Amino acid sequence: MSRYTGPVCRLCKAEGVKLFLKGDRCFTEKCAITRGETKNKQRRGRPRAKMSEYGLRLREKQKLRRFYGMNEGQFRRMFGEASRMSGVTGHNFLQLLERRLDNIVYRMGLATSRSQARQLVLHGHFTVDGRKVDVPSYLIRAGAVVAVAENSKEVAIIRENAEVAASRMIPEWLEVNSERMEAKVLSIPMREQIDVPVNEQLVVEFYAR
């Protein structure tokens, strides 16, 4: 399946929840979900038909896949990896998704969205433990240091993002040094530390059907 290239706000409206695909716009009143909630309060419509069990699980899977900006093939392969690990499959899956390099860059505040983080990684602007890595799906281990490459610290978009990164919420499992433009992964995040608006068990049930 190819990557979706249309208006990302449509994806949020389709899932009925903020997926934070539009960067800073998602935190303003211009957000499609925020505008939609306002309009719904002003008008009444017919209730939607009850969703089937399959439909419920499909929507939850799509919501999670779109949240991290992955195509179906990548997503399914990572789920397969999570299912082979010991422990709770749903929690393993979320931890693998959070450990992706593009997600770490986004969580550091050096990109306004995961799609922008993916592009910055692909262009070779980041290093892991001092070695340049340009693979967005690269899995970061606990104790690793993700940093902006020395020759990329003057890139305009990275500097702009770094200036406002201090005002963004940084996960407690990351230790960010804004001046050096780097972050250390203190630990693999626990489920309660991952702010993803999904029920991962429904995703597990979708693939287990």
Q: What is the pLDDT of residues 91-125, one digit of tens each?
A: 999 999 999 999 999 999 999 999 999 999 999 99
Residue 189 CB contacts under 8 Å (≥ 6 apart), including other chains: 94, 95, 98, 171, 173
pLDDT reading at 3 higher than 60: no
Per CATH, the homologous superfamily of domain 8-96+197-208 is Ribosomal protein S4/S9, N-terminal domain (1.10.1050.10)
Domain 100-185, CATH 3.10.290.10 — does that match? yes
pLDDT reading at 30 higher than 80: no
Tens-place pLDDT, residues 134-178: 999 999 999 999 999 999 999 999 999 998 887 788 999 999 998
Can you give the three-state secondary structure of the chain, one letter per residue? CCCCCCCHHHHHHHHCCCCCCCHHHHHCCCCHHHHHHHHHHHCCCCCCCCCCHHHHHHHHHHHHHHHHCCCHHHHHHHHHHHHCCCCCHHHHHHHHHHCEHHHHHHHHCCCCCHHHHHHHHHCCCEEECCEECCCCCCECCCCCEEEECHHHCCCHHHHHHHHHHCCCCCCCCEEEECCCCEEEECCCCCHHHCCCCCCHHHHHHHHHC
pLDDT of residue 209: 85
- Rounded CA-CA distance 56/203 in Å is 9
pTM over 0.75: yes
CB 119 within 8 A of CB 106: no
Domain boundaries, the chain: 8-96+197-208, 100-185
pLDDT of residue 166: 75
pLDDT reading at 1 higher than 50: no
- Rounded CA-CA distance 130/116 in Å is 22
